[in-house]
Amino acid sequence: MSLKRFILIRVFLTPVMVLILFTLIFIILRILPGDPVRVAVGPKLPPEYIEKIKKELGLDKPLWRQYLDCLYGYLHGDFGKSLITRRSFKDELTSRFKASLELTIFSMLIAIPLGFFVGEVGAKNSGKALDHLTRVLTVASYSMPVFWLGVILQLIFGVWLKVLPVTGGPPPEVKFRIHEITGLVTLDCLLNGDIAGFISTIEHMILPAFTLGFVISGVIGRVTRNALLEVMQQDYVIAARARGIPEDRVYGKYIFRNALLPIVTIISLQIALLLGGAVLTETTFDYPGLGTYLKDAILMRDYTVVQAAVTLYAIIVAVINLIVDVIYAFLDPRIRY
């Protein structure tokens, strides 16, 4: 199968998968017991007010009509209104998603180099004391509760040393005084020439980004070590070394590239999880991302927001899987067949 045909098939299957996930989410939320409107706005409201809300949101229509209307709205960028705030989900979505995207970028800038370094050190010193140390470090970091690590970092750097703020996200005064260009506050500060705002925003991002990055680096390091060790034992690597090929070239051309597949997989999964909202970290640091938005919607039983947020997360995962499939096809042509 050619690369072009492989990509076209994956592009075709991606919306089909998203449609199936959307349908499942729609059905599950509709078959849950209880009246979502009455639960969200309270049981003491007059029945005529409840019916007015249902009519406004289209919940008085037959189930099949609700499904088609909801699907039509999603395809045209209309994710519905919140039961609580009556605001369009799209209004909140843009700022919340950009906040989660910014946190994801900073977290992965910490997690990927740290995970690669620890995994590479462990693989090159297999069976030695340094390898055992890196294995303990990766297991400890990934098994560490993220909210516990976040609280400890807040106590040390925010309360005791007083060198970093304990809350995450850009300061409100910085967001108000800069002209929004990309929606990523750190980048917008640089584009606006606001160096003080950039430094202040980075200071607020350090603790939540390091918390997530350190925890994620554990699983990246573990997978990197195992993948490198597996490739190092292959016959073609042993033959390349026997022919006297320089070790740097053996590692770069024969080992690292062939070990990338599982590493790319785990990194893409972590990125998808973070883009969907790191609920525990965002809650710990009061970070205004998708995670806290979804948590608040669940607590308030705002099921239209929950449906839209979960559908958005499904789209994010599907798109990232598509990108990973294409990267796989470039790294290993055998996957196309």
pLDDT for the residue numbered 30? 77
pLDDT for the residue numbered 163? 93
Contact 314, 25 (CB under 8 A): yes
294: CATH: 1.10.3720.10
Coil, strand, or helix at residue 97?
A: helix
Q: How far apart are CA 238 and CA 25, in angstroms?
A: 50
Does some domain include residue 199? yes
pLDDT for the residue numbered 1? 62
Residue located via tokens 């790319």: 264
List the structure tokens of 144.
């560490």
Q: How far apart are CA 296 and CA 292, in angstroms?
A: 6
pTM, 2 dp: 0.85
- What is the domain count for the chain? 1
Contact 319, 14 (CB under 8 A): yes
Model confidence pLDDT, tens digit, residues 55-107: 777 777 888 888 898 888 888 878 777 777 777 777 777 788 888 889 999 99
pLDDT for the residue numbered 277? 62
Does some domain include residue 10? no
Does some domain include residue 216? yes
pLDDT for the residue numbered 335? 62
pLDDT for the residue numbered 154? 94
Does some domain include residue 72? no
Does some domain include residue 136? yes
Does some domain include residue 31? no
Domain coverage including residue 112? 89-299
Flag residues of the chain having pLDDT under 70: 1, 3, 34-36, 38-43, 276-277, 332-337
Does some domain include residue 74? no
Model confidence pLDDT, tens digit, residues 222-250: 999 999 999 998 888 888 888 888 888 88
Residue located via tokens 């607590």: 299
Q: How far apart are CA 226 and CA 247, in angstroms?
A: 19
Does some domain include residue 101? yes
